[in-house]
Amino acid sequence: MLERWTTTLRDRQPEAAFAAVYKRGPHRVVFIGAQHANRDDSLTFRLIRNAYSTFQFDTVIAEGFATSRGVNPPSVFRYASESGLTADGFVEGGETVPTVIGARQESAKLWGGEADDLDVKAHVLAEGISSADLLGFYVLRNIPQWIGERKIENAADPRLKPLAEEALVKNRTALKLPADVLARYADWAEWYAGLNRKPLGVGFQTEEVGPLADGKFGTNRVAYAISRARDIYLHNLIISHVNAGESVLVVFGASHLMIQRPALDAAIGQPCYVGTELARATTTCR
């Protein structure tokens, strides 16, 4: 059973990225719980590289794009090659880059681990989340990423407005919502202020886009419903590849690993290694 993401579970999560390794016969399932990073020298990047150097994978499941884009989507490989390392060690594409490059080098099949937007929409609307809440959150969750990519400094940055306006159009189309749902940037900012009871600006906290079932922000409730749909889908996807007799690497945010652990433990068995030194798993996961 998937764990509910609560403040208690969040506080149990390791502060740094970590991995869990499962054994099913001769096959391994490695789930890297990433701390979303844009540094080539980060622990997340090291774990990804170590996973590839330690194990051989048939399949790689990555966060951030839908399974329906097909195996080895060319646009994702192109994005990874164009978002590479800069002179100061910054990688705009984050952990997607070493994940995708490693899959290509190892000739593993790369799949997106995300459900289609319309499937997520159906799930969350059934949970009582409104179309405006869904669209508003889809745009809001980009703010930490835009900060990490150096596109904005914070939520008060004037560069946020054109980014958000573009994201509203893109996500409204993807979700097949009418044009009058959060039609303008001002509508989106008003939606945010009404839900979180404060103006959008420098006081924005990353915690506001966290999928906390018991979070203090209105956006946490929306995030939780969306996260639940995503994690149900992800779990079924992982198990389908495991049952097909494949060795699988999963690279998703660490909260997803915390949420997935009880369900994966029940389906596969207790992990043979949990930690940050994957070379040790060659001994404990024989």
Tell me the pLDDT tens digit for each residue of 197-219. Answer: 999 999 999 999 999 999 999 99
pTM: 0.90
| Angle (deg, nearest 10), helices 160-174 and 185-196 | 90
On whether the CB atoms of residues 139 and 167 are closer than 8 A, the answer is yes
Give domain status of residue 95, yes or no: yes
Domain identity same for 217 and 160:
yes
Instruction: Flag whether pLDDT at 85 surpasses 70.
Output: no
The number of folded domains in the chain is 2
Are 11 and 97 found together in one domain? yes
Please indicate, yes or no, if residue 96 is contained in any of the structural domains.
yes
In a domain, 186, yes or no: yes
Does residue 110 sit in the same domain as residue 238? Answer: yes
Residue 155 covered by a domain: yes
Q: Are residues 125 and 185 in the same domain?
A: yes
* Same domain (yes/no): 46, 121: no
State whether 94 and 68 are in the same domain. yes
Does one domain contain both 218 and 88? no
User: Each residue of 241-260: b (16+ CB within 10 Å) or e?
Assistant: bbeeebbbbbbbbbbbbbbb
If we measure between CA atoms, which residue out of 57, 60, 90, 89 comes closest to residue 77? Answer: 60
Q: Are both 72 and 104 inside the same structural domain?
A: yes
**Domain containing residue 135:** 117-226
Q: Does residue 139 share a domain with residue 62? A: no
User: Do residue 109 and residue 241 come from a single domain?
Assistant: yes
Residue 2 domain flag:
no
**134 and 220 belong to one structural domain:** yes
pLDDT of residue 87 exceeding 80: no
Residue 68 has pLDDT above 90, yes or no: yes
For position 88, what pLDDT does the model report?
Answer: 83
Q: What is the pLDDT of residues 218-240, one digit of tens each?
A: 999 999 999 999 999 999 999 99
Task: Return the sign of the alpha-carbon dihedral for residues 236, 237, 242, 245.
Answer: positive
181 located within any domain: yes
**Residue 123 shares a structural domain with residue 222:** yes
